[in-house]
Amino acid sequence: MQIRTKLTLQFIVLVAGILLLSLFIIYVKFQRMTEDEFYNGLRSKALMTAEMVLHDEEKIAPLGDHTAEEEPVLPFRENVVIYNAAYKRVFAFNRAAPPVPNKTLQNMRACSESRFMRGDFHVLGLRHTSKSGREYFIVAEAVFNPEELKSLRNILILSFFLCIGIVAIGGWFYAGQAMSPVARIVNQVDHILPSDLSARLDAPNNHDEISRLVLTFNRLLDRIQFAFRMQKSFISNVSHELKNPLSVIISQLEISLDRQKRSTEEYRDTLASVLEDTRELNNVTEKLLQLARVHSEGANITFERVRLDEIMLQTRATLLRLHPDYHIAFDIVGLPDDEEQLCVLGNEPLLRSAFQNLMDNGCKFSPDKKVEVKIWFDPAGKHHVEIADQGPGIPAKDLQLIFQPFYRSSQNIHVRGSGIGLSLVDSIMRLHRVALDVTSAQGRGTTFKLSFPAMQ
């Protein structure tokens, strides 16, 4: 069922319920008013009859009992009967009418006025005291069949169905008006092609739910477009980064095999060059695998309590073993006495990889191949790490681009690298909810600041 139809039906049911309740209350109120008016007429007629009959009270005697066999009962629509204190009839408009049972008259003694039904008649019973102080019971009865109630009932039924018809038409129209922005959004989305994700939905100027939906969908399109662009760039750069070392390796091996005779030194140089290219290719592949793991298995990566200072020291030792010409100064500020306060919650291999990339980049781009690493231990558990170098710095226009995969600044194109390291660092820090901030100045180096959240 379409939303427009569902809204229309819900609107009809709601209005029909309210309208039906209102009409029912009107009908009941009018019926009570009509009945009260009817009984007021009976009361006036009964009291008037009592005044006339009881004017000569001493001459009144009980009436004899008449049966239907002695006197035929003619059809009648109203009657007034007066009973004395001994429950004997002393007056009746229609003497052939069946008498009121004594039990009913006894119940009338308890209250001054009572209403009840007797067959098709509405009966009003009154307890009346004459001028002489004697007690009498007046029973006035009549058939209650007002034409006004029937007319009102017919008018209300006709009004109900007429109003429901108008409500259905109006509900269908207004539901269509309410759903027209959604239909317009659906049509616009339907025209967005995978080949052109730059199209955006037209956002209305008002600040309603539809506007929020359009803005949310446009932001979703921005993220999808960015993901597609990154995917295309990633595939293109991966192909380039893997193809170049392989082409160089193949070329070197082909040249070595092309000549019949070569010296041992030439073979040694060729193998050393091939080994270097292979290591570079292995490094790129390993970073790509780590990056893919972080993005695809982020929710399944296990976290545990690890000592931040030990990870930094182990990473420093590993990097110095691989590059003896590097210089990594290490300093700790606010070292706590409790070993538990040295820990953070994280994945040790990923944190080690991120720190290694940051230290390696700092040494690689510094003229003196030196970086300074500092750790600030906070008693609240919000530890900070700072890795600073004295390199040429990063231009301001490149600061927002350095975390994109395979991005390399034009001023550092001569330095060997793949452009994956900082992208991997950013992904690992996001996974660990670590705030990563970069400050750089031309000619004065670059500083990476990491702020770890308090461990729960």
Confidence category of residue 335, pLDDT binned at 50, 70, 90: confident
| Closest C-alpha to 347, from 404, 290, 387, 292 | 290
454 or 407: which leads in pLDDT: 454
Q: What is the arithmetic mean of pLDDT over 355-361?
A: 89
Residue 140 main-chain phi, psi, to 5 deg: -110, 130
Say yes or no to pLDDT of 404 above 60: yes
Confidence category of residue 407, pLDDT binned at 50, 70, 90: low
DSSP 3-state of 266: helix
Distance CA 52, CA 22 (A): 45
Give the right CATH number for 3-150 from 3.30.450, 3.10.450, 2.40.50, 3.40.50. Answer: 3.30.450
- Torsion, CA 359, CA 325, CA 393, CA 230, rounded to 10: -50
pLDDT of residue 413: 54
CB 135 within 8 A of CB 127: yes
pTM of the complete model? 0.50
The amino acid that residue 354 corresponds to is: A
Structural domain spans, the chain = 3-150, 209-296, 301-451
Q: Across the chain, what does the average pLDDT equal? A: 81
Taking each continuous run of H as one helix and of E as one strand, the counts in the chain are: 8, 12
Architecture label for domain 301-451: 2-Layer Sandwich (3.30)
pLDDT of residue 16: 92
262-321 tens-digit pLDDT: 777 777 878 888 887 787 777 777 776 766 666 666 567 888 899 998 999 999 999 999
Architecture label for domain 209-296: Orthogonal Bundle (1.10)
The DSSP string of 120-154 is: TEEEEEEEEE-TTS-EEEEEEEEE---HHHHHHHH
Say yes or no to pLDDT of 70 above 60: no
Indicate the length of the chain as a whole number: 456
Strand order in the sheet with 113-118: 89-92, 78-84, 135-143, 121-129, 113-118
Least-confidence region, from 8-22, 36-50, 235-249: 235-249
